[in-house]
Amino acid sequence: MSSKNKKNPQKPSQEGPSNPTPPPGEQPTQPKANKPIIVDIHTHMYPPSYIDLLQSRTTIPLLRSFPGHPSPRLVLLPSELPLLSHPSPSHPPGRPLTESYTSLDAKIAFMDKHSISISVLSLANPWLDFFSTSPDTTTTTTTTSPDTINAAAIKINTEFELMCQTHPNRLYFFAVLPLHPTTTTNLTNLTEIVSSLTTSTFPHCRGIILGTNGLGLGLDDPALDPLFHLLQDLALPIFLHPHYGLPNQVFGPRAERGEYGHVLALALGFPMETAVAVGRMYLSGVFDRFPRLKIILAHGGGALPVLAGRVESCLRCDGFLYKMEKEGKGGRMERSMGEVLRSQVFLDAVVYSEVGLRAAIGAGGEGGVGRLMFGTDHPFFPPLGEGEGEGEGEGEGEGQWGSVVVNREAVDGVLGEGSEEAGMVLGGNAIRILNLREEEGGEES
């Protein structure tokens, strides 16, 4: 990678990750008087090249049309796989691919409707994981090629950067990475792609989005250490997001038949997946080896805020790990899980309740309010149109999205509407932590 376009990355502060110095002329975004600035750090899109990838596939993740349903449907979750062979005529698997998933105009309209000043876009799950975890046997020779996945990641990141340039001051993004089993033998390309995110080629990049799969063996895989080292040195935070949930059999045969919709997989499977992933990183020593690595956990950290103490208790009482420590073979963490949460982990506020928000704040200790950032999870969880059930055009109605309203009410209920602390969670923290800047030329109207 040529060095002439590189910017000088700032070192991360004690308060959180910094981003490389923005282009000249940018100034910190300031909220308008008497109106809190709202920053949405958890908001997804599928750019055109990604839709093309899904359309070319015959196994999940894919796009499939079903008789009686005018819109093709996104079939993404492992729990939906059994339903593909025998889809219900009235409730086929997946969700309609509406413009909310693909249209930048629809994203801006959503922001305007809900008074969201800034959004940090990210590719929705399952990102590019399927190149390594569920290859389409009809196109294996092309889809699993390292060159192909590298090109896909660069194309997607470029599409997001162009979206951000279309709406200055309002849009930033988390980049997607081309993780693949062959990445371990092709680290030069990965290094170049990650390093490019801190140059003038991608001035609106504010970190990377990562699933829990890594290179196929989870985030405690030692093969990921070079990536974590690089992200730490470049001060690029990880936005960690679940996708795989729990095995289908955990939810039982009725769930496998689709009787419970997506509720168990999303409401319970996703939070546990996040907690397990971070637990594995913790026990394998990732946070000790990379103490400046910063991670933002989706959905308020999943189940982790309420289970962190249980992890510490089990660690103290585990005979095997105690023996390993006595023999000098590891088994001891340099810091408690709570200390890691208070120093390296940030959470979004996509929790849908005051109880969940209090737990998320508590996980960060005395400074917990300063480690929490607002999010909506748009375009998932849309308002359902009258007479449409889960059906076509979901999310295209005139109503406000519950993911915005309920999470905003939780922030106001716990911290006080109009309070300084509420303003921090709604926008101030994200501006500081992600180094969001107003570009020269003033705020877009």
What pLDDT, on a 0 to 100 scale, did the predictor assign at position 30? Answer: 45
Between 193 and 138, name the one with better pLDDT. 193
For residue 293, is it within any domain?
A: yes
Tell me if 411 is assigned to some domain: yes
Report the amino acid identity of residue 331: G
Q: Are 257 and 303 in contact (CB under 8 A)?
A: no
More confident residue, 154 or 35: 154
The 10s digit of each residue's pLDDT in 144-201 is: 567 888 899 999 999 999 999 999 999 999 999 998 776 665 677 888 999 999 999 9
- Whether 211 and 271 have beta carbons less than 8 Å apart is answered as no
Global pTM exceeds 0.75: yes
More confident residue, 371 or 26: 371
pLDDT at 135: 40
Contact 129, 153 (CB under 8 A): no
Phi-psi category of residue 219: left, alpha or beta, with phi > 0 → left and psi -120 to 50 → alpha:
alpha
Residue 144: per-residue pLDDT? 56
First to last CA, the chain: 37
What is the β-pairing status of strands 69-75 and 205-210? Answer: unpaired
- Indicate the DSSP class of residue 428: I
Distances (CA, A) of 403 to 213, 216, 249, 265: 26, 31, 29, 18
The residue among 371, 311, 429 whose CA lies nearest residue 40 is 429
In a domain, 23, yes or no: no
In a domain, 9, yes or no: no
Q: Is residue 204 part of a domain?
A: yes
Task: Please give the tally of structural domains in the chain.
Answer: 1
Q: Residue 268 domain-assigned?
A: yes
261-282 pLDDT, tens digit each = 889 999 999 999 999 999 999 9
CATH number at residue 292: 3.20.20.140
pLDDT digits (tens, 9 = 90+) for 43-96: 999 999 999 999 888 888 899 888 888 888 998 887 787 788 778 887 888 888
- What residues make up the domain containing 127? 31-57+103-383+393-438
- Name the average pLDDT for the chain: 84
Tell me the average pLDDT across 274-294: 96
The predicted structure's pLDDT at residue 5: 46
What one-letter code names the amino acid at 341?
L
Tell me the pLDDT tens digit for each residue of 310-363.
999 998 888 888 788 777 777 678 899 999 999 999 999 999 999 999 999 999
pLDDT of residue 257: 82
The better pLDDT of the pair 62, 120 is held by: 120
Distance, in Å, from the CA atom of 97 to the CA atom of 391, rounded to the nearest integer, reads 11
